[in-house]
């Protein structure tokens, strides 16, 4: 793996040589452009959606929790 961030911006010639067990070698030359590594991208902030509607679920969940605890306490005291 070659770290192209360490090189200057632009096109570079990369020569790759590979050999196998029989000592037969092959080489290839590849032109690599690393200009995209030096471009700065402007990331725009995400605008939150306007949730002006009040949801029923969180308040209703708390109501059910309190109701179930109350019913549980009533039944636990009646069993005695």
> What are 17-50's pLDDT values in tens digits?
999 999 899 999 999 887 777 777 777 888 776 6
Q: Dihedral (C-alpha) 35, 36, 40, 45: value to the nearest 10 degrees? A: 170
16 within some domain? yes
Residue 31 lies in a domain: yes
Domain contains 25: yes
Residue 69 has pLDDT above 80, yes or no: yes
Domain count, the chain: 1
Domain assignment present for 3: yes
Residue 14 sits at the vertex; the CA angle it makes with 12 and 17, to the nearest 5 degrees, is: 170
Does the residue 14 lie in any domain?
yes
Of 22 and 55, the one with more pLDDT: 22
29: containing domain: 1-39
* pLDDT score of 7: 73
């Amino acid at each position: 793996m070659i770290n192209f961030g360490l090189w200057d911006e632009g096109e570079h010639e990369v020569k790759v040589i590979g050999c196998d067990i029989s000592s037969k070698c092959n080489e290839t030359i590849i032109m690599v452009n690393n200009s995209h590594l030096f471009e700065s991208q402007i990331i725009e902030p995400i605008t939150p959606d306007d949730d002006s509607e009040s949801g029923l679920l969180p308040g209703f969940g708390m109501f059910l929790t309190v109701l179930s605890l109350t019913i549980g306490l009533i039944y636990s005291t009646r069993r005695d």
